[in-house]
Amino acid sequence: MADQKIDVLISEVGPRDGLQSIDTILPLALKKAWISAEAAAGVREIEVGSFVPASLLPQLADTAEVVKHAKTIPGLTVAVLVPNLRGAEAAIAAGADKITLPVSASETHSLRNVRRTHDQMIAEARAISTLIASLPPGRRPHFEGSLSTAFGCTIEGAIPDAVLQDLAARLVEAGCAEVGLSDTSGYANPTQVRRLIRLVRGVVGDDRLTGLHLHNTRGLGLANALAGLEEGITTLDASLGGLGGCPFAPGASGNIVTEDLAFMLESMGLRTGIDLDALLSVRRQLAQWLPNEPVYGFTSEAGLPLGYVGPPQIVRFADALGG
């Protein structure tokens, strides 16, 4: 799995963003089975949980055990979300390969989500970076600062460009290896995606903004993903069955659907490394494990087209995007 070349990395966030947004608490054994099955289907990066207090998100109380299992899977990048230094310490102790700190562009959302102001979150980022730098090189996780509600907030509305630019610059200065843009509330449209990628890259550089976290709240998730690809984005978050949302952002709902995203990319001739038949099988299993929770997506309902064989053996990334 790890040696196969890909054009776009699909980062599965269902075991974190999906499970935190539903009432059902999936047993540890089924979380392990889900992660193992997706990795076997060719998914290379999975956000397996979040190191937050169990009192706030009991659905993710077993994240350390989930990380421990995921680390046994060859070639899998094990990602987690952390709200602060304490969470980062737990993530590092568990052995996570990648940690993401959510820094909401909406300060009101930040106070509700992680109970910290912008200045306090930058201080957390600096403390986490210092901790990572103190580790032996082989134990240092990749550190991302994710700009949540970057495209708009259900509490504050539009986010001024200057706020995004300032936070992005401060996160890099604080030690984040990269920043990501997150459409927490599902407000984004393709034109806005292109504009904000250029805006933030103008501050941090092209190599420090490579990923997007998109929601499909208003049906624009795949269109926004394509806009990101056209701007050079190479990592896209998605959730199996479209599970997900933010408990602290009113109206936020479903992530883009992993299987629909993978089908779109592969149909365009872009390599994801994912076996679509195997991925659809995992989705069917997940739906059985969560019988009381809605799952979404079109590819699972329609099936793969007759004669579908996946992307061509040789394709230029620019050609696939019409460049």
Q: State the catalytic residues.
A: 246
Cα distance between residue 77 and residue 75, in whole Å: 7
Distances from the Cα of 75 to the Cα of 12, 43, 70, 84, 212, angstroms: 14, 10, 10, 27, 22
Spatial CA neighbour of 285 closest among 38, 4, 15, 5: 38
Q: What is the dihedral of CA 136, 141, 145, 151, to 10 degrees?
A: 170
Amino acid code (one letter) for 238: A
Cα distance between residue 237 and residue 85, in whole Å: 24
| Residue spans of alpha helices (H) in the chain | 28-40, 63-70, 85-94, 107-113, 118-133, 161-174, 190-204, 221-230, 258-267, 276-289, 299-302, 317-320
Place of tokens 């896209």: 236
Place of tokens 């930058």: 122
